[in-house]
Amino acid sequence: MRWWGALALAAMLGACSGGMIPQTAQPRPPVRPAPRPAVVPPARGAPVVSPGNGAVVSPLRPRAPLVADRIAPMAVGTLPVTPVNAAAAGLSPGPAIDALGFTRQQAADALATFRISCASLTRRTDTSGLTRATDWAPICDAAVTATPSGASDFFAAWFEALQVGDGNAFATGYYEPEIDGSRERRTGYTPIYRKPDDLIEVDLGLFADDLKGKRIRGRVDGASFVPYFDRAAIDAGALDGKGLEIGWASDPVELFFLEVQGSGRMRLPDGGVMRLGYAGQNGRDYTAIGSVMRQRGLLQPGATSMQGIMTWLREHPDEGRVIMETNKSYVFFRELTGPGPLGALGVAVTGEMSAAADGKFVPLGAPVFLSLDRPEASGLWVAQDTGGAIKGPNRFDTFWGAGQRARTIAGGLAARGTAFLLLPRGTLARLQPVPAPPPASQQ
């Protein structure tokens, strides 16, 4: 599980623009074909032309939820509050599955990824309030025998498309970074630490009912419980001599961004690879250094992408260290030896197929269709992860795997459009049953 989820790069950049892939990038052909352009553009009202038959069609748009009292936001004074889960946000039907416009290859890839979700789908509690484990059992049974060539028919037969709330989606991207490093200490290298034994997490709900669900992390200092060392203190050597080093990174900037992603790969001098996964965090608040740099006037126009930030930090190492230390949060790692990286669902996430979502609004393990203004991110995804900044309905963080192409796309992805959840057929009817007729005396 990558703890940061969608802190991802959108939070890292602090709402900096970085939107498109740099013109100098030459990515390899995508693993899966882009969906038909007919569903890619955002809902701007202009028709588009599908190259399939030349017909003019309209882009997919959000639809108004059917039940008004389900979508009325709770309020404190005049400030709206995000609904507690999808059932409270309201639902509306989407298009027929075969009208969404995903390709046969996308369907085949999504089927393979969905199968991985089934072990969890059929036994976990869905916090979105939309589905039950028993709803997924027959679908997962059918997925076992479904063939790649019949994947489109599988989704059409077993699923219906639904929107949560207004359906307006925002999607960012994350990837599995690759950094250079060593298992042994080397001059000029930065330590990668495992989770310290003295880092303690406290459930505050054990002390007061009004603190249920809230946790803090810290350490014991004498007779007091105090915040754990922040990034500046750790950089200054607060953890030296404790035997916590599991590796050494050649570039502190690359290590910093690996923390944002929560997992990654380290290339070793002998050509081997050490896979690193999230093990814990020091409990300090996260600060987006992109916002800090923008406020200080350090980023020039056109240099606000992840690549631009990294370039500036390397060109100004002393000031760059101070900038990185404004983010007091610090992530600890462990070595991964099995499949991965692992998502919050407890299964390995798949590049260009898995996405992070808020489990209160999307059943983890469910397919999602995103119709976005970034063609490379439009199409079928499977929600298999969560993230610290992925909150609320229709917020997604798409996983792009490892390598330069993944890094380039994820580093500049900020896409908007429409989201449709693919849920078991009958879900909407079960959640919004037809009311019983009034007694005859009232007719």
pLDDT digits (tens, 9 = 90+) for 199-213: 999 999 999 989 987
Same domain, 268 and 121: no
Q: In what helix (H) or strand (E) does residue 303 lie, and over which residues does it extend? A: none
pLDDT of residue 441: 63
Domain membership flag for residue 160: yes
Per the document, the length of the chain is: 443
Same domain, 182 and 262: yes
Same domain, 105 and 193: no
Per the listing, tokens 């002393």 go with: 318
Q: Domain ends where: 336, 360, 376?
A: 336
- Round to whole Å and give the CA distance between 134 and 118: 11
Whether residues 224 and 263 share a domain: the answer is: yes
Calpha distance 132→138 (Å, rounded)? 12
Report the domain count for the chain: 2
User: Does one domain contain both 209 and 97?
Assistant: no
Is 137 contained in some domain? yes
What pLDDT, on the 0 to 100 scale, is given for residue 82? 63
Spell out a b/e string for 155-171, using b for 16 or more CB atoms within 10 Å of the CB, else e.
Answer: bbebbbbbbbbbbbbbb
144 and 217 inside one domain: no
79 beta partners = 76
Look at residue 351 and tell me if it is in a domain: yes
Residue 442 lies in a domain: no
| 357 and 405 belong to one structural domain | yes
Q: What one-letter code names the amino acid at 178?
A: E
| 3-state SS class at 441 | helix
At 338 the pLDDT is 76
Which residues does 373 contact at the CB level (< 8 Å), separation at least 6?
40, 41, 42, 415, 416, 417
Residue 40 falls inside a structural domain: yes
Residues 244 and 311 in one domain: yes
Q: Residue 349 in contact with residue 278, Cβ under 8 Å? A: no
Asked if 22 and 406 count as a contact pair (C-beta separation under 8 A), the reply is: no
The Cα–Cα gap between 154 and 109 comes to 12
Rounded Cα gap, residues 166 and 52, in angstroms:
29
166 shares a domain with 25: yes
Question: How many whole angstroms separate alpha carbon 94 and alpha carbon 27?
Answer: 33
| 167 and 187 assigned to the same domain | no
| Nearest-angstrom CA–CA distance, 140 and 280 | 33
Can the peptide bond before residue 341 be classed as cis, meaning omega within 30 degrees of 0? yes
Is residue 443 in a domain? no
Residue range(s) defining the domain that contains residue 156: 5-173+347-431
Q: What's the first-to-final CA gap in the chain, in angstroms?
A: 56
Q: Which of 292, 308, 336 is the last residue of a domain?
A: 336
CATH number of the domain bearing residue 31? 2.40.40.10
Residues of the chain with pLDDT below 50 are 1-11, 13-59, 61-80
What's the pLDDT score for residue 42? Answer: 33
The per-residue DSSP string of 105-143 comes to HHHHHHHHHHHHHHHHHTTS--TTSS--HHHHHHHHHHH
Q: Does some domain include residue 259?
A: yes
Evaluate whether 154 touches 143 at the Cβ level (below 8 Å).
Answer: yes
Domain CATH for 318: 2.40.240.50
Of 336, 369, 404, the residue that ends a domain is 336
Residue 438 covered by a domain? no
pLDDT at residue 439, as a whole number: 67
Q: What was the pLDDT predicted at 435?
A: 62
- Residues 366, 285: one domain? no
Cα 250–chain centre separation:
27
Strands 379-385 and 354-356: parallel
- Residue 78 sits in the same domain as residue 226: no
